[in-house]
């Protein structure tokens, strides 16, 4: 009798331990699904890199600088004394080469990228853009370029106007620089060691001569392609960048935040910087002098054209809720088993858990072909339908099976809203779990858990009456 009392008191606990063990085993297929998603996401990233190798990559634009090369020559006189104590003056001609760096007083850039998502390889799609960059500004050039040596004579080289473009393969036109009243053609490259801007374009300012101080306006337009993001490195004493596009999900990044507006599927953004915020003059001088340009490039800012949660991010997020699905479904089974005096075999728990795990496999395979929303609808409908048919036999009635099916359909609906929501996912999820927990606690508040198991256990173990089915 004592032995039976022990079994009665700990039936619920032992059952829960067994169900928990089955749930933990089902974490293995869920982990395999997560590995599958990571593998597919890696394949997509490889496609992006492959497309970038054959087309224009993300663009980083270093706004204009001007470089003036020079050569200074002078005679160095040295007085010596020979063996007879006679003084002798030795004159040696010396020379040095250098360059003067000028950043613009003002720079304004405006563009409106046109986005295109048609570039793809196999199943994978990459977001590209085309943009016409309108750049204008002003250089304040001091008298004699601000360089008057204490001795010697200075010979000036041809000044260079440079504009950095990280991937020049994306440049589609032959831009012309309007410099004062002249139009000057751009050439590939940014004058190499003179500017340290990397890739880009430059124009020789052949008509610029030393002399009186002058302010010179400039402007040019560059048509270019890029992929997924565009960024800017400011150089002006005052720099303003205006960007707008027909895209509802911009992601701004970098050292400076823009004044932005997003509405009706479009966005606009304006960045404004100054020498006080960028320290660009000193940072660029250090870049040219030491070839260490990290501080100068750290002023970068821009925008990424992203989906709020791309396909593989959504799939990965969905699998994180897989254990919750299994746990809630098992909890519903357990409540039916206890409250309705049913006997559900552990193998039946396991089969139902595998069906729930199969939902995520279907979701991954279908979403690459049909899109996330359609794949989600098909996979969830298939899994709910399968479970309702199976549970009608396990639970004894269609009403109970439909009740579990309705619960699962509600769970899939809530999960879909969580996956589609960025800003309110945590709030919605916590409120849903709280409401679910409250419903379970209120619904089972009068259950005597010590007495919950024996009736079901005895009923399942009782012999069937002669000539009939078990009561």
More confident residue, 48 or 300: 300
For the residues 441-468, what does the mean pLDDT come to? 53
**Helix (H) or strand (E) run with residue 179 in it:** strand 176-179
Query: Looking at residue 458, what is its pLDDT?
Result: 46
350-370 average pLDDT score: 79
Closest CA to 246 of 133, 341, 114, 142: 114
Question: Quick one: which H or E segment has residue 375?
Answer: helix 372-394
Look at phi and psi of residue 430 and say left if phi exceeds 0, alpha if psi is from -120 to 50, else beta. Answer: alpha
Give the DSSP letter of residue 247: -
420 to 262, 307, 377: CA distances (angstroms):
18, 11, 14
The b/e string for 201-233 (b: 16+ C-beta within 10 A; e otherwise) is bbbbbeebebeeeeebebebebebbbbbbbbbb
The pLDDT value given to residue 302? 94
First to last CA, the chain: 24
Q: Is 166 left (phi over 0), alpha (psi -120 to 50) or beta?
A: alpha
Nearest to 228 by CA among 420, 44, 421, 368: 44
Q: What is the DSSP letter of 192?
A: G
State pLDDT tens for residues 108-129: 999 999 887 666 665 566 778 9
Residue 22 has pLDDT above 80, yes or no: no
Report, as an integer, the average pLDDT of 377-397.
Answer: 82
Cα–Cα distance between 98 and 146 in angstroms, integer? 14
DSSP tag of 279: -
What pLDDT is attached to residue 9?
Answer: 57
For residues 265 and 244, give the distance between their C-alpha atoms in angstroms, rounded to a whole number.
11
pLDDT of 1 > 50? The answer is no
Q: pLDDT exceeding 70 applies to what percent of the chain?
A: 78
Rounded to whole angstroms, how far apart are CA atoms 74 and 95? 6
Domain ranges in the chain are 2-45+312-461, 60-306
Q: Does residue 256 register a pLDDT over 70?
A: yes
**Cα(143)–Cα(211) distance, rounded to whole angstroms?**
5
Q: Find out whether 126 and 120 touch, Cβ atoms under 8 Å.
A: yes
Dihedral of CA 415/421/422/427: which sign? negative
**By the 8 A CB rule, do 173 and 222 touch?**
yes
CA–CA separation, 122 vs 44, rounded Å? 10
Q: How confident is the model at residue 307 (pLDDT cuts 50, 70, 90)?
A: low
Q: What is the pLDDT at residue 68?
A: 92
Other Cβ atoms closer than 10 A to 191:
19
Position 124 scores a pLDDT of 63
Q: How far apart are CA 55 and CA 231, in angstroms?
A: 18
The alpha carbon of 416 is separated from its chain's Cα centroid by a whole number of angstroms, namely: 21
CB of 59 within 8 A of CB of 226? Answer: yes
Q: Beta partners for 304?
A: 229, 251
């Amino acid at each position: 009798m004592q032995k039976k009392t022990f079994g009665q008191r700990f039936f619920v606990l032992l059952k829960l331990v067994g169900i928990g063990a089955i749930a933990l085993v089902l974490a293995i297929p869920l982990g395999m699904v997560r590995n599958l998603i990571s593998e597919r996401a890696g394949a997509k990233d490889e496609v992006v890199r492959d497309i970038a190798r054959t087309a224009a990559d993300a663009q980083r634009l270093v706004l204009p600088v001007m470089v003036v090369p020079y050569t200074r020559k002078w005679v160095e006189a040295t007085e010596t004394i020979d063996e007879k104590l006679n003084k002798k003056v030795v004159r040696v001609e010396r020379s040095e080469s250098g360059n003067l760096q000028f950043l613009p007083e003002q720079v304004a850039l405006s563009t409106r990228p046109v986005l295109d998502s048609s570039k793809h390889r196999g199943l994978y799609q990459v977001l590209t853009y085309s943009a016409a960059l309108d750049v204008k500004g002003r250089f304040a050039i001091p008298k004699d370029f601000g360089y008057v040596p204490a001795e010697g004579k200075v010979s000036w080289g041809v000044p260079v106007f440079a504009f950095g473009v990280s991937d020049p393969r994306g440049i589609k036109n032959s831009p012309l620089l309007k410099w004062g009243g002249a139009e000057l053609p751009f050439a590939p490259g940014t004058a190499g060691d003179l500017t340290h801007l990397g890739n880009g374009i430059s124009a020789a300012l052949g008509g610029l001569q030393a002399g009186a101080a002058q302010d010179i306006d400039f402007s040019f337009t560059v048509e270019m392609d890029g992929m997924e993001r565009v960024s800017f490195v400011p150089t002006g004493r005052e720099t303003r960048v205006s960007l707008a596009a027909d895209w509802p999900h911009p992601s701004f990044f970098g050292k400076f935040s823009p004044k932005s507006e997003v509405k009706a599927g479009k966005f606009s953004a304006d960045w404004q910087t100054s020498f006080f915020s960028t320290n660009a003059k000193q940072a660029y001088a250090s870049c040219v002098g030491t070839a260490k340009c990290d501080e100068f490039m750290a002023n970068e800012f821009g925008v990424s054209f992203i989906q709020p949660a791309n396909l593989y991010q959504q799939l990965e997020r969905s699998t994180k809720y897989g254990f919750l699905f299994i746990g809630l479904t098992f909890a519903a089974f357990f409540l039916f088993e206890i409250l309705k005096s049913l006997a559900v075999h552990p193998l039946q728990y396991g089969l139902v858990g595998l069906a729930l795990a199969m939902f995520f496999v279907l979701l991954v395979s279908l979403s690459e072909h049909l899109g996330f929303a359609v794949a989600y609808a098909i996979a969830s409908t298939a899994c709910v339908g399968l479970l309702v048919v199976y549970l009608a036999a396990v639970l004894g009635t269609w009403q109970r099976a439909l009740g579990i099916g309705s619960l699962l359909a509600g769970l899939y609906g809530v999960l879909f809203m969580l996956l589609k929501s960025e800003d309110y996912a945590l709030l919605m999820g916590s409120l849903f779990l709280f409401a679910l927990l409250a419903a379970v606690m209120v619904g089972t508040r009068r259950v005597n858990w010590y007495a919950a198991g024996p009736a079901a256990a005895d009923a399942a173990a009782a012999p069937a009456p002669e000539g009939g089915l078990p009561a």
